[in-house]
Structure formats: C-alpha cells, structure tokens
Amino acid sequence: MNKMEERLWSYIDGSCSEDEQKAVSILIAQDEAYRLKYEELMAFNRQLSKMEMDEPSMAFTYNVMEDIRAEYAQKPLKAMIDKRIIKGIFLFFIFTILLLLIYSLATVHLSGTKSGMHLPDSVKLPDIKKYFTAPVIKGFLFFDVVLGLFLFDAYLRKRSVSKQL
Amino acid sequence: MQSKLSDIELIEQTLGGNQAAYADLVKRHQRFVFTLAMRFSKSREDAEEIAQDCFIKAYRSLAAFQRQSKFSTWLYSIVYTTAMTFLRKKRVDTDSIDDENTYIQLENQASGLDNNLAENKSRSYYLNKAIGQLLPDDAAIITLFYMGEQSLEEIGKTMDMEANTVKVKLFRARQRLKEKLELSLKDEVKELI
C-alpha cells in the first residue's frame, strides 16, 4: 500500500524517472486499485494546492520598516554591510605602517649627537633627523591623504543619509 | 500597489539606499513568510514577531545574499532558522499527532465542531487546522511545497537537507496530514478527499 502511494506521489509530483513515469501511467490505466488511489491522491493534491495563505496585520510592513529605520537611522547600508572592506582597509594601513617601520629601521644608522649637552658616553641618543628621510615623509603624507579621503567619504555619506531622513 | 520590479532589482535599489524598495519586497513576501511562521508558532502574535524578525535579519544581511538561489529560497531559510530558534526558546509543545494527549485533544475538537459544522465547513479551514496539528517540520515542508512553490531541491536548501530526504519527508508529511484529516473530521473527510 505504502509502496503504491509512494510511487503515485512521485508520479504526481513529477519527481520520478521517465521510465517510472511510463510504468505508473500504465498501472493507472490497467490496475483498478492504482486508478482509485491515484484519483484519491490527486483530489488531495488539488486540495493542498488550493490552500490559502494567512494574512498578517495591516501594519506589518510599516512595523518592519519602522524597526529598520530605527536601527539604521544613522548608518548608510552600504557603509556597514560588508565588513571585508573595512578589514581590507585596516590590513592595508597595518601593512603600510609595518613596511615603513621595517624600511626605516633598515636604513637608520645610529650615531652619537654633537650638541651642547654632554651626556655620558654610555648613553647614545638616536639621530631623529635620520628618521625623516624622503620616503618616510612621502609615506606619511600618503597615509594622511588616504585617511583624509576616508574620513571625507564617511562625512559625505552621513550628510546624504541625514538629507534622506 | 506592489512594485513590478523583480526581487533582484528591488534588492539592488535597497542596497543603493532606497528603503522604499525594501518595503515593496516585504509586501511581496509577507503573506508567505507569515504563513510559514504560523506553522511553527500557532499564535498570530508570535508568528508576526517571527516574520518581522526575519525581514529585519534579511535586511541586515542583504549584501551577503549570493544570488545563486532565488531570494525567496534564501528568505525562507531565514524564516526556518528563526522559527526553529523561536521554538527552542519558547519550548513550544511539538508533540506528534500520534501522541496520546494530542489524540484526546483532537477527539474533543472534532466533537466540539460537530455542532456548528455546517457554518464552519470550509475545505481550507479544515486543511489549515490539520496542518496546524502537524509537527513543525512536516507543516513547513507541505507549506513550502504547495504554497511557496518551492522545488524539492529548494526546500532542501531552505531546511538544510538533501532533496531526497525532503522527498521522503514530504511523502510522510502528506500521509500524516491525511491521517489527521481522517481523525479530526471522521466521516466528513470522505467528502473532502
């Protein structure tokens, strides 16, 4: 019985192979038990297809949008959706800073200072001027420009969102 | 009036900052999402809470929607997960129809209905009532297949199952539903199926 129902449901749903489809249709045509069961299941299937959906309250969409507005009032969606972008920017800065640091340390030659102050011979201060080489300053400026653009972009986004509201 | 734009176009507009587009998406899918939530919660208030929660979750992760499947399939998977979490939290009684207590309840329900059977006799009414008495998974599979017009593969994605498992579960769910109808309507079922 179960096997028959199983075959018939697969036939009705169209989830069986073509050969099986043909075999079942022959059985329905020739076997009375199959035919009766098929008609019963088809009637049940039609009934299920006609089921009506439930209706939420009239204010449903409004409530959803109100919740979203409250949650996202100050945040533009695109700025917060993909955290990978934020991570990427963060990694880029870290990488740049590390690169600069390594480069600076590699090119620095520590030596004593010649100033009016006389420190004990055992204490040697690094030459700060040597840290400010052309590449370092360029890197620093580049970092500042990128950071400035990033903050300017954030400011513009904030302004466009407040205009929309 | 609902938008004629496709789901994907509405998603694009939403991601571009147009919240009205998302409101159109909500309007388009709210009935089914609410119906699916009703299969788990049994109360309109809870179902509405689940449905609202789902749409807010979907909005939050809209950018993560891969577009490899239909938006509805993706949305229904959120509904399924949210509803299951809700069930775990609320510890709703999900006993099977075979459970003795449920059987007694059904007997009482059927006899209570006898008096005003004529007034209430609506095919949809009895069917929805019987579905409401199924296990949440069974009710969800039937709802997704017949109301959500989802294929076995899509239901599999929604419920995180193999398509073959869904096929077997759908077969069993329909059998249980038939049994429930027979049980709750007794002689009346013959007229219905």
Q: Is residue B95 part of a domain?
A: no
CATH number where B64 lies: 1.10.1740.10
Q: Give the best-scoring range by mean pLDDT among A48-52, A74-78, B54-58.
A: B54-58
Q: Are residues B39 and B78 in the same domain?
A: yes
Select the residue from A8, A17, A46, A51 to test the B interface by mutation, using most B Cβ atoms within 10 A.
Answer: A51
Q: Calculate how close chain A gets to B84, using CA atoms only, in Å.
A: 19
Hey, are the CB atoms on A53 and B31 less than 8 Å from each other? Answer: yes
Structural domain boundaries in chain A: 2-49, 74-164
Predicted TM-score (pTM) of the model is: 0.63
Q: Are residues B49 and B115 in the same domain?
A: no
Q: Calculate how close chain A gets to B158, using CA atoms only, in Å.
A: 19
Token digits for B28?
A: 């388009």
The span from the CA of B46 to the CA of B83, in Å, is 10
Last residue of a domain, one of B90, B122, B151: B90
If one compares B186 and A59, the residue with the highest pLDDT of the two is A59
Last residue of a domain, one of B41, B60, B90: B90
Buried b (16+ CB within 10 A) or exposed e, B40-66: bbeeeebbbbbbbbbbbebbeebeebe
Q: Are residues B106 and B82 in the same domain?
A: no
Kindly report which listed range (A44-53, A58-67, B106-115) carries the lowest average pLDDT score: B106-115
Name the H helices within A31-82.
Answer: 32-49, 60-72, 77-81
Q: Are residues B163 and B123 in the same domain?
A: yes
Q: Are residues B84 and B120 in the same domain?
A: no
Nearest to A51 among B147, B175, B178 (CB): B147
Give ipTM to 2 decimals: 0.73
If one compares A124 and A153, the residue with the highest pLDDT of the two is A153
Confidence (pLDDT) at B121:
53
Span A110-139, mean pLDDT?
69
Name the residue of chain B whose CA is nearest to A161's CA: B17
Residue A130 CB-density burial (10 A; 0-12 exposed, 13-18 middle, 19+ buried): middle
Contacts of A72 in chain B (CB under 8 A): 59
Hey, are the CB atoms on A57 and B48 less than 8 Å from each other? Answer: yes
* Total number of domains in chain B: 2
* pLDDT score of A74 more than 70: no
The span from the CA of B2 to the CA of A154, in Å, is 34
**pLDDT, tens digit (0-9, with 9 covering 90-100), for A120-133:** 666 666 777 777 78
- The boundaries of the domain holding residue B158 are 100-192
Q: Is residue B1 part of a domain?
A: no
The span from the CA of A48 to the CA of B147, in Å, is 8
Q: Are residues B46 and B128 in the same domain?
A: no
Q: Are residues B109 and B75 in the same domain?
A: no
Contacts of A78 in chain B (CB under 8 A): 15-17, 63
Confidence (pLDDT) at B168:
92
Q: Are residues B84 and B111 in the same domain?
A: no
pLDDT tens-place values along chain B, 193 residues long? 556 889 999 999 999 888 899 999 999 999 999 999 998 887 899 999 999 999 999 999 898 888 888 999 999 999 999 999 988 887 645 454 444 444 444 444 444 444 444 444 566 778 888 888 899 889 999 999 998 888 899 999 889 899 999 999 999 999 999 888 877 776 565 555 5
The span from the CA of B109 to the CA of B135, in Å, is 18
Q: Is the dihedral of CA B67, B69, B74, B75 positive or negative?
A: positive
* pLDDT score of A118 more than 80: no
Nearest to A56 among B15, B30, B123 (CB): B30
**pLDDT, tens digit (0-9, with 9 covering 90-100), for B6-28:** 999 999 999 988 889 999 999 99
Q: Are residues B18 and B36 in the same domain?
A: yes
CATH number where B172 lies: 1.10.10
* pLDDT score of A109 more than 90: no
pLDDT band for A8, please (50, 70, 90 cuts): very high
A interface with B, Cβ–Cβ < 8 A, is 5-6, 9-10, 13, 15, 40, 43-44, 47-57, 60-61, 63-65, 67-69, 71-72, 76-78, 81-82, 160-161, 164
Q: Are residues B34 and B110 in the same domain?
A: no
Last residue of a domain, one of B30, B58, B90: B90
Q: Are residues B30 and B113 in the same domain?
A: no
